[in-house]
């Protein structure tokens, strides 16, 4: 009972977009409210602070992202194809962002993590968890690829960590250089890290 509203959702969408296209530090509560079309009174009705909103938005955003990842990393798909699909998906996303915002935006969690990890404990923890999830997607693909004999990776967790670092590094470079073409080499680099034989890698 009582009134209903999607203001909370609008606020969460707004902060994510502002952080991603700009940064956490320069995103103010006033900006968020303006973008969401919500008055400050309502903001404080739903949230205690900017970091509180950011935390909730981050978690919600990740939940919906996970659905896509579950599809891409489906165990039904051959393990190396999962990685190929993931890279392709990532490239397409960055391209779309560049068209929409005029700028390559990279990985929202990684960029935010780099910015706030020394300052915002709660956000740092959430981001760590999200990145760990990402790693697990990679890890299971690597484990499957190892089991199938496609690659030699006795420690899939370690390999996944390496690949994640490379992947996130590339995305960040693409953001810094504002150039999607940086991402062209993504698959090649990952396969090199995995020690995929050139013959296998060629089956694009």
Partner DNA sequence: ATAATAGTTGACTATTTAGTTCACTATGTT
Partner DNA sequence: AACATAGTGAACTAAATAGTCAACTATTAT
64 binds its own copies (CB under 8 A): no
Q: What angle do CA 182, 185, 191 make, to 5 degrees?
A: 150
CA dist 144 and 150 (Å) reads 9
Question: Using the rule CB under 7 A, which residue among 13, 21, 22, 31 binds DNA?
Answer: 31
Smallest CA-to-CA distance from 188 within 178, 202, 173 is with 202
Sole residue written with tokens 């203001």 = 7
Residue 30 contacts DNA per CB under 7 A? yes
* Residue closer to DNA, measured from CB, 26 or 67: 26
CB neighbour list of residue 178: distance below 8 Å, 6 or more residues apart: 98, 103, 104
Within 92-121, the residues that bind its own copies by CB under 8 A are 101, 103, 105-106, 110-111, 113-119
Nearest Cα neighbor of 73 from 139, 165, 163 is 139
What's the rounded Cα separation, in Å, for the pair 81 and 191? 11
Round to whole Å and give the CA distance between 151 and 140: 13
Q: Of 148 and 178, which CB lies nearer to its own copies in the complex structure? A: 178
Token pair 């690597």 is found at 142
Site for DNA in 43-102 (CB under 7 A): 44-46, 49-50
Nearest CB to its own copies, comparing residues 77 and 161:
161
Q: What tokens appear for 134 in the block?
A: 């990402």
Nearer to DNA, 7 or 114 (CB): 7
Site for its own copies in 118-137 (CB under 8 A): 118-119, 124, 127-128, 131
CA distances from 113 to 54, 68, 184 (A): 12, 22, 24
Residue span binding DNA (CB under 7 A) among the ranges 25-33, 60-68, 165-173, 175-183: 25-33
Residue 35 near DNA by CB under 7 A: no
Binding site for DNA (CB under 7 A): 1-5, 7-8, 28-31, 38-42, 44-46, 49-50
Binding site for its own copies (CB under 8 A): 21-26, 101, 103, 105-106, 110-111, 113-119, 124, 127-128, 131, 158, 161-162, 164-170, 172-173, 175-178, 182, 185, 188-189, 192-193, 195
């Amino acid at each position: 009972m009582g009134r209903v509203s999607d203001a909370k959702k609008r606020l969460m969408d707004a902060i994510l977009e502002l952080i991603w296209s700009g940064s956490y530090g320069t995103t103010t509560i006033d900006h968020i409210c303006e973008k969401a079309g919500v008055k400050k009174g309502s903001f404080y009705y739903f949230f205690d602070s900017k970091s509180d909103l950011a935390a909730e938005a981050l978690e919600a955003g990740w939940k919906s992202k996970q659905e896509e990842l579950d599809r891409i990393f489906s165990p039904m798909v051959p393990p190396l194809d999962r990685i190929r699909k993931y890279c392709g998906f990532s490239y397409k996303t960055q391209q779309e962002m560049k068209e929409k915002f005029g700028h390559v935006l990279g990985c929202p969690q990684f960029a935010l993590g780099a910015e706030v990890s020394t300052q915002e404990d709660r956000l740092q923890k959430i981001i760590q968890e999200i990145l760990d999830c990402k790693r697990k997607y990679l890890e299971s693909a690597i484990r499957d690829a190892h089991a199938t004999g496609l690659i030699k990776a006795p420690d899939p967790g370690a390999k996944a960590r390496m690949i994640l670092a490379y992947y996130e590094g590339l995305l960040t470079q693409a953001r810094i250089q504002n150039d999607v073409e940086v991402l062209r080499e993504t698959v090649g680099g990952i396969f090199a890290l995995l020690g995929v034989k050139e013959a296998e890698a060629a089956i694009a």
